[in-house]
Amino acid sequence: MDPALLAIFGVGLFLGLLPGVYVWFRSFHERRRLEAELKKLRSHVDAHIELAHEGTIQRKAEIERLEKMNENLRVTLKAWQLKPDRRELRQLHVYDHAIREILRSTPGFAPHWEAALSRAEAVVADEDRGLLAFSRRFFLRGRTGTDDPQEP
């Protein structure tokens, strides 16, 4: 082989490999940069998921605690309403309301007592619902009997 052709071939090979090596070197560094960025993004996403998971766990624990508290309060309220002294107090409230209505409205007592008693029970049943019932549980009406002018 001719040394001049061999030199031209060598120069051509060198000039052909030079861009290939440059492209390979750039791709190697670009790949390392992208892998580092991907690792950083994964750690960021993992941290975000972990925080979201902790928040979800805390919310679930809070919901469970509130559900238990709600159930306990519901049971306590039912037990409180069923206590004998509370039932008797409610019945006395119904009777008081019925008697005051009769004394204000009718001179005859027997037939009107039953009607007034049923109306009073309906009124108290309405009062047992809503905000009025809530306030009445804490502050029962204080009736002294001085608000009716017909009473002896």
43-67 pLDDT, tens per residue?
Answer: 999 999 999 999 999 999 999 999 9
Tell me the C-alpha to C-alpha distance, in Å, between residue 84 and each of 18, 48, 53, 128. Answer: 100, 56, 49, 17
Q: What is the pLDDT of residue 125?
A: 79
Query: Could you tell me where the beta strands, DSSP code E, fall in the chain?
Result: none
Retrieve residue 106's tokens. Answer: 């009718």
**Residue 115: phi, psi to the nearest 5?**
-65, -45
Query: In the predicted model, what is the mean pLDDT of the chain?
Result: 81
What are 84-118's pLDDT values in tens digits? Answer: 677 777 788 888 888 778 777 766 666 677 787 78
